[in-house]
């Protein structure tokens, strides 16, 4: 049963994590905040940004702040699934007999950084599917449960698409958020340069254990959500499907596939965490509106018309929010 | 924890807003109903426009106001919570309301947090929000209703059509005035009579310039016509005869001569009148009255047969040439002949004026007479467009096949003539005294206006009578 103490603990820890990560990363407040939201909510994150904007540094800093085992996999075209999940190797037992023993791969960690995930082949990318969704790995006929908390933080580069393999929809859907790391402003860049002149080593201190994180997750789950807000989130998802009645003309023209039910789950779960982080004990429409972008931008597939007219996913989401918002006000 | 009690002060504030919104919405609906009803009544010419329109508007307002207030705008707990949330409380109040029966710790914490924040919000901070969509339609509908009520009596024809019609009417009236003047000036009648007639015509011209409207114009012409006829009637019955005979009022011999002649009743009457006049030479009116009474006593209708009597009198005077008063009789004969000439001129003028003004009035009313001299036209029966006009024509008694005159009933089929059964004849019979509405409407309306001016007709009846005349017109 959640108590006021749990709520206070949650708010304090969140603030401390933000402070610690702030020591290693300049700017990118939204990205940092959303990363923490996803991690507390138990979701995986896809970070997208041009090289050098601090994707890997953010993940490493988070690993330190959360005081959790951290492993990094550099995805390359020749990376094999076994390189991710692990493989059976022949070992001699105490009797000198050759036996097969499962050698765990880098996936067996609490925080996994899948760097440049789109450079690996779909076969290797798919090796992450089970781990991301079920938090388990099956190899050699055995299923190994991964230790909680478990997160995959993947990065990808939006440019240099030669020799890359776009993530399949099924894989994309398993990321709770897709966060875009933008190029820093002039002042932020100056701060970054100044900071890294002293040391390249991350400075974030551990403020949270895995157990703390699980407690915080349970606390967030208790946050009440009004029925209207729940309906609003659901309507947002259904309105993104061009084949459904809820969809407007804009969606029918510019959206090829809408968001999956996982999006609705992610939206509400993340909204609860966001509410608590902001010192609220209830979810508001604002939470849904703010989180719609990271939750939906990789789940809504633009149509050919949208691509030719250079309408981005974020524009589609903005339009959806405006459309649903009007209906909400109409009520 | 009684959440409703916590929200009550805010609810009270919002109740004012609900009241205003409902009032505006009901006013919008009421105004729309006034405009709609007014327009409908105007197009249908059904009932008094103002009172019916206002009644329908009032009904719509009274019916819709409670519906709007209690079914749409009343600040329920949920609405109050939503409005409070919009003041930066981020859905806290709405959530609290929804989870008010939840006893879980997080719900308790949420309630506590919300109430703490609510303490910082005063009911004064809650603005009364009246949106454009509340008052703009209201203003539009009010303006529409006002326009319909204000211009309700304006003819629905286009301005161009109305202008053309008005110009045509003005032309008809100008022609009529000019013709009347010419006829009066050319008529061999005494100058004072001419001046009196011209004064009435001048006044008529001025009156027609001041007014606009077919009905008022015809009513004014009717009134002027009656004045002119009255002046001429007076002239016919009094002045020429009176003046002529008055010259011999002091000649006793005239009476003697008359007495000695053929004792026709009229002559006796004239003699008696002259004798009476001798006793009161200054009282012309008394003289004329006694003359009229005497003539009536003799069974002579003064309005129709007076001239005949005077002619006989003149002839008798001519026969009395052998008498000793020969010279006097000759003068009397000449004077009376002159008087008779004037009588004839006045009578002709009276007819001409009546004909002229009636014709102008008929034209103004769009009334067309059927040319009875064109039987071929009438034989065309129902195929003839003119026959439609004969819906107002009265059948001559004896030809109708019924008892007295009757209307054609608009079928365009006339009554068969007894002598030629195949021929359909339409006859307007002035002797029956039955006339078309077109002919009498303006005189009725003139009488009505005179009564209105005299304050004889209550105001509440005036609108009904106006509508009646408009409908007839």
| Residue with more model confidence, B301 or A167 | A167
What is the rounded average pLDDT of the residues A252-271?
90
Chain B contact set for A286 (CB, 8 A): 90-91
Of the listed ranges A218-232, B63-77, B409-423, the one predicted with least confidence: B409-423
Most confident region among A144-153, B450-459, B463-472 by mean pLDDT: A144-153
Contact (Cβ atoms closer than 8 angstroms) between residue B27 and residue B61 = yes
CB-CB under 8 Å, B104 with A222: yes
Q: How far apart are the first and last CA of chain B?
A: 75
Residues 137-196 of A with CB under 8 A from B: none
pLDDT for B289 equals: 58
What is the rounded average pLDDT of the residues A35-44?
89
Residue B266 scores a pLDDT above 60: no
SS3 A273: helix
Residue A236 scores a pLDDT above 50: yes
Residue B463 scores a pLDDT above 70: yes
Residue A269 scores a pLDDT above 90: yes
Q: How far is CA B230 from the centre of its chain?
A: 23
What is the rounded average pLDDT of the residues A124-146?
84
What is the rounded average pLDDT of the residues B377-383?
43
What is the rounded average pLDDT of the residues B92-121?
85
CB-CB under 8 Å, A4 with B105: yes
Residue A293 scores a pLDDT above 90: yes
**pLDDT-based confidence at B423, cuts 50/70/90?**
very low
pLDDT for B188 equals: 82
Strands A44-49 and A151-156: parallel
pLDDT for B27 equals: 92
Kindly state the percentage of chain B with pLDDT values over 70: 57
B455: left (phi over 0), alpha (psi -120 to 50) or beta: left
What is the rounded average pLDDT of the residues B206-226?
82
How many CA atoms lie less than 13 Å away from A198 in the CB half-sphere? 9
Compare CB distances from A3 to B94, B96, B105 and report the shortest one's residue: B105
Q: Would an 8 Å CB–CB cutoff place B239 in contact with chain A?
A: no
Contact (Cβ atoms closer than 8 angstroms) between residue A305 and residue A253 = yes
Q: Would an 8 Å CB–CB cutoff place B170 in contact with chain A?
A: no
pLDDT for B325 equals: 45
pLDDT for B113 equals: 84
| CA pair distance A268, A56, nearest whole angstrom | 28
**pLDDT-based confidence at A271, cuts 50/70/90?**
very high
Chain A contact set for B86 (CB, 8 A): none
User: What pLDDT digit, counting tens, does each position of B199-210 carry?
Assistant: 999 999 888 888
Residue B260 scores a pLDDT above 50: no
Distance from CA of A229 to the nearest CA of B (A): 9
| CA pair distance B409, B400, nearest whole angstrom | 12
Chain A contact set for B105 (CB, 8 A): 1-4
- Cβ neighbours of A236 (radius 10 Å): 25
Strands A255-257 and A70-74: unpaired
- Chain A to chain B, count of Cβ pairs less than 8 Å apart? 53
Residue B190 scores a pLDDT above 90: no
| Burial classification of residue A94, based on how many CB atoms lie within 10 Å of its CB (0-12 exposed, 13-18 middle, 19 or more buried) | exposed
Distance from CA of A277 to the nearest CA of B (A): 14
Residues 51-90 of B with CB under 8 A from A: 85, 90
Distance from CA of B104 to the nearest CA of A (A): 8
Q: Is the peptide bond before A14 cis (omega within 30 degrees of 0)?
A: no
Chain A contact set for B114 (CB, 8 A): 282
Q: What is the DSSP string of A9-35?
A: HHHHHHHHHHHHHHHH--S-HHHHHHH
Contact (Cβ atoms closer than 8 angstroms) between residue B201 and residue B349 = no
**Angle between helix A29-41 and A210-221 (nearest 10):** 90
Torsion angle defined by CA atoms of residues A302, A303, A308 and A311, in that order, rounded to the nearest 10 degrees: -30
Q: Would an 8 Å CB–CB cutoff place B109 in contact with chain A?
A: yes
Chain A contact set for B129 (CB, 8 A): none
pLDDT for A71 equals: 87
Nearest to B336 by CA among B296, B373, B304, B306: B306
Compare CB distances from B95 to A4, A222, A226 and report the shortest one's residue: A226
Which helix H or strand E contains A270, and what residues bound it?
A: helix A261-277
Residue A239 scores a pLDDT above 60: yes
CB-CB under 8 Å, A283 with B106: no
Residue from A281, A285, A286 to probe the interface with B (highest B Cβ count within 10 Å): A281
Of the listed ranges A268-272, B75-79, B246-250, B410-414, the one predicted with least confidence: B410-414
pLDDT for A1 equals: 66
Per the prediction, chain A carries an average pLDDT of: 85
Which helix H or strand E contains A86, and what residues bound it?
A: strand A86-92
Residue B241 scores a pLDDT above 70: no
pLDDT for B304 equals: 41
**pLDDT-based confidence at A270, cuts 50/70/90?**
very high
**pLDDT-based confidence at B283, cuts 50/70/90?**
very low
| CA pair distance B441, A149, nearest whole angstrom | 101
Per the prediction, chain B carries an average pLDDT of: 69
B40: left (phi over 0), alpha (psi -120 to 50) or beta: alpha
CB-CB under 8 Å, A3 with B96: no
User: What pLDDT digit, counting tens, does each position of B155-179 carry?
Assistant: 444 445 556 677 777 888 888 999 9
Q: Would an 8 Å CB–CB cutoff place B115 in contact with chain A?
A: no
| Residue with more model confidence, B44 or A329 | B44
Compare CB distances from A224 to B85, B90, B99 and report the shortest one's residue: B99
Distance from CA of B141 to the nearest CA of A (A): 23
Of the listed ranges A314-318, B110-114, B333-337, the one predicted with least confidence: B333-337
CB-CB under 8 Å, A281 with B109: yes
Residue B343 scores a pLDDT above 80: no
Residue B251 scores a pLDDT above 70: no
Compare CB distances from B91 to A3, A4, A229 and report the shortest one's residue: A229
Compare CB distances from B105 to A2, A229, A284 and report the shortest one's residue: A2
Contact (Cβ atoms closer than 8 angstroms) between residue A311 and residue A254 = yes
Residue B250 scores a pLDDT above 90: no
What is the rounded average pLDDT of the residues B277-288?
49
**Angle between helix A261-277 and A227-238 (nearest 10):** 140
pLDDT for B247 equals: 52
User: What pLDDT digit, counting tens, does each position of A172-211 carry?
Assistant: 888 999 998 888 888 888 887 877 776 667 777 888 888 8
Compare CB distances from A226 to B91, B105, B106 and report the shortest one's residue: B91
**pLDDT-based confidence at A268, cuts 50/70/90?**
very high
**pLDDT-based confidence at B313, cuts 50/70/90?**
low
What is the rounded average pLDDT of the residues A286-310?
90
Q: Would an 8 Å CB–CB cutoff place A218 in contact with chain B?
A: no
pLDDT for B281 equals: 45
Nearest to A226 by CA among A279, A169, A271: A271
Q: What is the pTM of this model?
A: 0.56
DSSP A114: E
Residue B419 scores a pLDDT above 70: no
CB-CB under 8 Å, A282 with B96: yes
Kindly state the percentage of chain A with pLDDT values over 90: 14
- Cβ neighbours of B402 (radius 10 Å): 11
Compare CB distances from A284 to B91, B98, B99 and report the shortest one's residue: B91
Q: Is the dihedral of CA B451, B455, B458, B462 positive or negative?
A: positive
pLDDT for A185 equals: 82
What is the rounded average pLDDT of the residues B146-155?
72
Residue A78 scores a pLDDT above 60: yes
Q: Report the residue of chain A nearest B90, measured CA to CA.
A: A284
Q: How far is CA A49 from the centre of its chain?
A: 14
Residue B375 scores a pLDDT above 50: no
CB-CB under 8 Å, B90 with A284: yes
Of the listed ranges A13-17, B3-7, B42-46, B146-150, the one predicted with least confidence: B42-46
Q: Would an 8 Å CB–CB cutoff place A2 in contact with chain B?
A: yes
| CA pair distance B263, B258, nearest whole angstrom | 8
Q: Would an 8 Å CB–CB cutoff place A78 in contact with chain B?
A: no
């Amino acid at each position: 049963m959640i108590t006021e103490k749990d709520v206070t603990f949650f708010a304090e820890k969140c603030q401390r994590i933000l402070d610690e990560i702030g020591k290693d990363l300049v700017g990118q407040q939204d990205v940092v905040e959303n990363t923490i939201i996803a991690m507390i909510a138990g979701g995986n994150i896809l970070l997208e940004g041009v090289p050098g904007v601090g994707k890997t540094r953010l993940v490493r800093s988070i690993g330190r702040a959360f005081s959790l085992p951290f492993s990094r996999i550099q995805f390359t075209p020749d990376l094999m699934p076994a390189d991710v999940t692990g493989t059976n190797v022949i070992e001699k037992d105490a009797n000198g007999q050759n036996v097969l023993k499962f050698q765990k791969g880098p996936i067996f960690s609490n925080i996994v950084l899948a760097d440049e995930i789109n450079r690996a082949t779909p076969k290797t990318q798919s090796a992450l599917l089970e781990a991301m969704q079920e938090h388990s790995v099956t190899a050699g006929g055995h299923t190994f449960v991964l230790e909680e908390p478990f997160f995959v933080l993947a990065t990808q580069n939006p440019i240099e698409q030669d020799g890359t393999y776009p993530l399949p929809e099924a894989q994309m859907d398993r990321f709770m958020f897709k966060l875009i790391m933008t190029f820093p402003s002039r002042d932020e860049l100056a701060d970054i340069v100044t900071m890294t002149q002293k040391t390249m080593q991350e400075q974030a201190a551990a403020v949270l254990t895995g157990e703390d994180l699980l407690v915080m997750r349970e606390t967030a789950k208790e946050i009440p959500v009004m029925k209207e807000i729940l309906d609003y989130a659901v309507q947002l998802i259904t309105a993104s499907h061009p084949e459904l009645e809820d969809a407007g003309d804009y969606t029918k023209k510019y959206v090829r596939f809408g968001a999956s039910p996982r999006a609705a789950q992610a939206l509400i779960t993340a909204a609860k965490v966001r509410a608590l982080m902001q010192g609220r004990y209830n979810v508001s429409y604002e939470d849904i509106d703010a989180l719609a972008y990271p939750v939906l931008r990789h789940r809504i597939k633009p149509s050919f018309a949208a691509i030719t007219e250079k309408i981005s996913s974020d524009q589609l989401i903005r339009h959806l929010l405006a459309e649903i918002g009007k209906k909400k006000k109409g009520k | 924890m009684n959440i409703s009690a916590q929200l009550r002060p805010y609810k009270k504030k919002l109740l004012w807003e609900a009241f205003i919104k409902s009032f505006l919405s009901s006013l919008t609906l009421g105004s729309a109903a006034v405009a709609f009803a007014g327009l409908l009544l105007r197009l249908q010419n059904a009932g008094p426009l103002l009172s019916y329109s206002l009644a329908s508007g009032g009904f719509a307002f009274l019916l819709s106001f409670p519906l709007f207030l209690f079914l749409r705008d009343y600040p329920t707990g949920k609405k109050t919570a939503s409005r409070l949330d919009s003041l930066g409380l981020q859905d806290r109040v709405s959530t609290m309301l929804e989870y008010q029966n939840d006893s879980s710790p997080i719900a308790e914490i949420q309630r506590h947090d919300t109430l703490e924040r609510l303490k910082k919000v005063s009911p004064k901070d809650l603005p009364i929000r009246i949106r454009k969509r509340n008052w703009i339609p209201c203003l539009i509908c009010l303006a529409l209703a006002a326009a319909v009520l204000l211009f309700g009596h304006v003819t629905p024809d286009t301005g161009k059509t109305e202008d053309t019609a008005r110009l045509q009417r003005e032309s008809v009236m100008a022609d009529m005035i000019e013709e009347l003047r010419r006829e009066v000036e050319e008529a061999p009648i005494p100058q004072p009579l001419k001046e009196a007639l011209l004064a009435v015509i001048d006044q008529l011209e001025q009156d027609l310039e001041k007014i606009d409207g077919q009905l008022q114009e015809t009513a004014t012409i009717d009134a002027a016509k009656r004045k002119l006829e009255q002046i001429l009637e007076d002239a016919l019955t009094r002045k020429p005869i009176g003046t002529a005979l008055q010259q011999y009022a002091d000649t006793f011999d005239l009476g003697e001569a008359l007495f000695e002649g053929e004792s026709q009743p009229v002559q006796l009457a004239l003699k008696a009148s002259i004798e009476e006049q001798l006793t009161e030479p200054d009282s012309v009116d008394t003289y004329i009255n006694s003359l009229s009474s005497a003539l009536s006593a003799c069974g002579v209708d003064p309005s129709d047969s007076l001239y005949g009597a005077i002619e006989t009198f003149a002839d008798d005077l001519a026969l009395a040439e052998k008498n000793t008063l020969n010279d006097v009789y000759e003068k009397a004969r000449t004077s009376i002949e002159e008087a008779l000439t004037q009588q004839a001129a006045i009578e002709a003028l009276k007819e001409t004026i009546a004909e002229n003004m009636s014709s102008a009035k008929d034209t103004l009313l769009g009334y067309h007479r059927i040319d009875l001299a064109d039987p071929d036209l009438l034989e065309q029966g129902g195929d003839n467009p003119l026959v439609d006009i004969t819906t107002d024509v009265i059948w001559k008694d004896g030809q109708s096949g019924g008892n007295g005159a009757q209307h054609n009933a608009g079928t365009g089929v006339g009554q068969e003539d007894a002598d030629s059964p195949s021929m359909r004849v339409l006859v307007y019979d002035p002797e029956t005294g039955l006339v078309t509405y077109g002919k009498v409407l303006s005189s009725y309306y003139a009488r009505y206006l005179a009564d209105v001016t005299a304050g004889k007709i209550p105001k509440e009846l005036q609108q009904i009578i106006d509508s009646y005349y408009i409908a007839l017109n």
